[in-house]
Structures are given as C-alpha cells and as structure tokens.
C-alpha cells in the first residue's frame, strides 16, 4: 500500500472512531445538540455535521429543531440530535435458572417490549429451552409496531461462556455442559437473520449496571450477582475483566471451606455452595430446590421476624462478606453492588458483610469502597445482553446499510465560536 493508501486508511479509521464515539455518547446520555456534541467529542462543527448526516443516512439518528428554545448565543439554536425510535435494536434473551425472559431493546437502553415466563429450567435440554423461548418471543415481536430494527440477538446464560464464540462450557445450575447455545438460538430465529452473542449473566448485569446503574461514575466496580448460582462481574479501570477466554469472574467458585459441601462445579466448599440460593434455602430449613417460591417464603418469614430465617440470612451474609473482603483486597474497587437475590436479602446481609469487611479487608481499600444494591433490578440482565449484541454496531456504525431515502440534513449551521478551539483538540480520545 502506498503513502496515499495509508493516509486514506488512517482517515477512514479516524472517521470510524468518531462515528462510534458520537453514537456511544448518544446511546449513553440523551439527545444532544450539534454544539454539545462538538464540545463533548472535541470535534469541529463541520465534522460533527458530517458525522450526524452519516448516522441519519444509516437510519440511526434524526435531528429536530428545539421548539421554543432561546438561543444562548447569536445565530440559530443548534438542532438536537436524537436516536431514531425505529433505529437499530437488539433482541435480548435471559435464560435463567428459574425463568425465561426476553426483550426488544433499542439504542439508548430503551426496553420497547419485554416478556417472561417463570419456571425452573434446571436440567432442561438446551434445544427444549430454545424452543420454549420461541413461543415466548413470537407474540412479543408480533405485537410490536414501529419498534427498532433487530440487528443482533444477545443471550444471557448463568454459566461459563467463551467470549470468542459464545460456547457455554458449563452452566451448572442448568445442568448444561459444552452447549452451542448461540447456534441453537440462531437456528430457532433464522428469519431475523441476526448474529447471536452470548454472555455470562453476572458479566452482562455488571456491564449494564456499570453503564446505566449502580456502577455509573466509578472506574473500578464489582457486581455480585446471585440467581440460582453466584457470579460476579469485575470492572477494572473501565473494562470488564474477561480473562484470556472470557471465563474470569467466577467468584462463586472460590473455595471458602475446604471440607465443605460438594459444589455443582465438582469442587468442595465453593462460595456458591455456601451462600448460593440452594445453600440459603437449606440453611433456613427449606427445600434447596424450592426455587422462587421457597425464596419468597424465606423473605416473608424474615420480614415477620422469624429467628431461623434471619439467622440463615445473617450466616449467608457473613460468608459473602468473607468473599467480598478478598475481592476488595485484590481489586480495590470504588463500589461493590449486590444484585439478583442478594439485592432482595440486602437488609439482612448488609451488617454481617460490613462486619467481615471490617476485620478481613485491608483498611485503605476498605475505606474507599461503597456497598450498594443494583439499580436496574431484573432488567440488568436484558440490558446487558442488549449491550453485548449492540456492541459491534456501536463500534462501527458505518457498517450499517444506508437507508433508502436519507432524511434531509442541514449541514451548515451558524457558527458559535467553538470551531477554532475544538479544531485544536485531538480527534481521538
Ligand atoms: Zn464450585
């Protein structure tokens, strides 16, 4: 490749990155005016106009004049750039131990439609789970009018998922081993003609919480997620820790009692086998496989003040506190959020967790960490699955097909004195 080719390649790469930065900004914040985009992205106004017009031509954004807006500076008010309601979106799927869920999620994290069926999926063959999923998803999709265009499918699974291809190595609570769940979902929904991305439930919940919930504003964030099993997502310096293949974050399988009960993973005394849902139910004298109904019964008993229930929850909190202390010592997070069933039992486990942190975590990192509950609730898994599915679109919006009739876009706008400053700023960042 000659010099000219290299320069063109570099320019194309800069444009791809700028398109991606602009779309991510709109995706994670709110409608923004061209002048706000210019300041936030540190780009000159003509570049912003050109990027906006490309996103509009690809059916992602539209512009509208602010009605009744009073110009802050001489000249016309800058039009507001907003995501199109029928722009790209994802079908998000949540295969959990105790339910099947699905949603259509647009850019901006908007849940357009959602559906869920509560039932135990323990030992359900993957093919059967996917067929049942279809009976849940079809009516939801049929009822959608003017929803987003589904460009990808994201699937949350409570197990170890290889990030490269979505291969489920092990989902102990479902009884799955070496399952090509992505392929099964793709085959079940061939007419959507959409790529399928699969992620670990705790990782997906963590990325949604980090972007839109309890992890916002932090750089180092840990989300402990319990639904059936126990997992965690670990964000280090703004990046979700994946490990070399995507299997990292299996906090539930850290040994906490070398002589403890056998865990689903085959080892003994894992944190999950001590504080997971089954252990919690067993400790409180309930059927360990009682699922959601037994868990709700346990909470109700604790709320009534029953000592056995409260003691069982406190003991789980103590063990969870031991696990969290280790995480604080290793990762020095700003914040640790409890999600899934741990968010439900938070009032009962908070004090025992803090007591363990007091004695087991190193004082300096302990003093820096907040203990909170997740903010997105059950939606965290679906939003995280959508985020995973939409990541390639957010990374390279220029790969979206051009809409047949691009909306007319005004490219020239009254200058507001930003250009000279903005054009000196770096275009990447
Ligand atoms: Zn284990």
Mean pLDDT of 130-146: 93
Whole-number Å distance, alpha carbon 397 to ligand 1 midpoint, is 40
Write the class of the CATH domain 3-84+399-424.
mainly alpha
Domain edges within the chain: 3-84+399-424, 88-203+379-395, 217-373
Q: Are 3-84+399-424 and 88-203+379-395 in the same CATH fold?
A: no
Per-residue model confidence (pLDDT) at position 334: 96
**Predicted confidence (pLDDT) per residue in 231-263, tens digit:** 999 999 999 999 998 889 999 999 999 999 999
Give CA 286 to chain center in angstroms: 32
Q: Of the given ranges (16-30, 166-180, 210-224, 340-354), which has the lowest mean pLDDT?
A: 166-180
Residue whose token pair is 């790469």: 13
Whole-number Å distance, alpha carbon 264 to ligand 1 midpoint, is 6
Per-residue model confidence (pLDDT) at position 15: 95
Whole-number Å distance, alpha carbon 279 to ligand 1 midpoint, is 12
Whole-number Å distance, alpha carbon 152 to ligand 1 midpoint, is 32
CB distance 96 to 121 below 8 Å: yes
Per-residue model confidence (pLDDT) at position 100: 96
Run of H or E residues at 149: strand 149-157
**Predicted confidence (pLDDT) per residue in 162-201, tens digit:** 988 889 999 988 999 999 999 999 999 999 999 999 999 9
55: its two tokens: 């996103």
Whole-number Å distance, alpha carbon 368 to ligand 1 midpoint, is 29
**Predicted confidence (pLDDT) per residue in 280-306, tens digit:** 999 999 999 888 899 999 999 999 999
Average pLDDT along the chain: 90
- The correct answer on CATH 3.30.420.40 for the domain covering 88-203+379-395 is yes
Residue scoring higher pLDDT (66 or 415): 66
Q: Of the given ranges (70-74, 261-265, 378-382), which has the lowest mean pLDDT?
A: 70-74
377: its two tokens: 């609730």
Whole-number Å distance, alpha carbon 127 to ligand 1 midpoint, is 25
Whole-number Å distance, alpha carbon 408 to ligand 1 midpoint, is 57
Per-residue model confidence (pLDDT) at position 73: 53
Residue whose token pair is 């992505």: 182
DSSP string, 263-324: PTTS-BSBHHHHHSHHHHHHHTTS-TT-HHHHHHHHHHHHHTT-HHHHHHHHHHHHHHHHHH
Whole-number Å distance, alpha carbon 266 to ligand 1 midpoint, is 6
pLDDT level of residue 120 (50, 70, 90 thresholds): confident
Whole-number Å distance, alpha carbon 67 to ligand 1 midpoint, is 58
Per-residue model confidence (pLDDT) at position 421: 33
Whole-number Å distance, alpha carbon 271 to ligand 1 midpoint, is 7
DSSP string, 11-77: HHHHHHHHHHHHHHHHHHS--EEHHHHHHHHT--HHHHHHHHHHHHHTTSEEEEPPTTPPPSSSSPP
Whole-number Å distance, alpha carbon 385 to ligand 1 midpoint, is 24
* Fold annotation for 217-373: Nucleotidyltransferase; domain 5 (3.30.420)
**Predicted confidence (pLDDT) per residue in 303-338, tens digit:** 999 999 999 999 999 999 999 999 999 999 999 999
Whole-number Å distance, alpha carbon 256 to ligand 1 midpoint, is 10
pLDDT level of residue 378 (50, 70, 90 thresholds): confident
CB distance 222 to 333 below 8 Å: yes
Per-residue model confidence (pLDDT) at position 422: 34
Whole-number Å distance, alpha carbon 393 to ligand 1 midpoint, is 36
pLDDT level of residue 145 (50, 70, 90 thresholds): confident
């Amino acid at each position: 490749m000659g010099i000219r080719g290299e320069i063109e390649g570099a320019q194309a790469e800069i444009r791809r990155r700028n398109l991606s930065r602009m779309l991510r900004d709109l995706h994670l914040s709110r409608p923004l005016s061209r002048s706000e985009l210019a300041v936030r992205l540190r780009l000159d106004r003509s570049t912003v106009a050109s990027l906006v017009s490309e996103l509009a031509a690809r059916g992602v954004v539209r512009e509208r004049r602010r009605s009744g807006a009073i110009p802050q500076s001489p000249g016309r008010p800058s039009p507001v750039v907003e995501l199109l309601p029928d722009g790209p979106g994802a079908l998000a799927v949540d295969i959990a131990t105790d339910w099947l869920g699905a949603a259509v999620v647009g850019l901006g994290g908007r849940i357009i439609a959602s559906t869920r069926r509560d039932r135990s999926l323990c030992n359900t063959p993957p093919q059967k789970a996917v067929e049942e999923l279809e009976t849940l998803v079809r009516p939801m999709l049929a009822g959608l009018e003017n929803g987003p265009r589904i460009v990808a499918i994201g699937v949350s699974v409570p197990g170890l998922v290889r990030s490269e291809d979505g291969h489920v190595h092990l989902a102990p609570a479902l009884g799955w081993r070496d399952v090509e769940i992505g392929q099964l979902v793709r085959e079940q929904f061939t007419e959507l003609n959409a790529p399928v991305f699969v992620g670990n439930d705790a990782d997906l919940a963590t990325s949604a919480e980090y972007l839109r919930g309890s992890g916002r504003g932090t750089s180092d964030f840990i989300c402990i997620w319990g639904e059936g099993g126990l997992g965690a997502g670990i964000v280090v310096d703004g990046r979700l820790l994946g490990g070399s293949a995507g299997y990292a974050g299996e906090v539930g399988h850290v040994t906490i009692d070398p002589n403890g009960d056998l865990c689903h993973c085959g080892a003994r005394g894992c944190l999950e086998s001590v504080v997971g849902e089954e252990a919690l139910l067993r400790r409180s004298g309930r059927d360990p496989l009682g699922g959601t109904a037994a868990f709700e019964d346990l909470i109700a008993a604790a709320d009534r003040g029953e000592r056995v229930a409260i003691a069982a929850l406190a003991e789980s909190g103590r063990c969870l506190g031991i696990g969290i202390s280790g995480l604080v010592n290793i990762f020095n997070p700003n914040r640790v959020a409890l999600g899934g069933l741990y968010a439900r039992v938070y009032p009962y486990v908070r004090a025992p967790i803090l007591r363990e942190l007091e004695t087991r975590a190193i004082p300096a990192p302990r003093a820096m960490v907040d203990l909170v509950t997740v903010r997105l609730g059950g939606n965290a898994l679906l939003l995280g699955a959508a985020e995973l599915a939409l990541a390639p679109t957010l990374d390279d919006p220029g790969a979206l097909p051009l809409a047949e009739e691009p909306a007319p876009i005004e490219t020239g706008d009254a200058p507001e004195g930003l250009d000279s400053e903005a054009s000196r700023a770096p275009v990447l960042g």
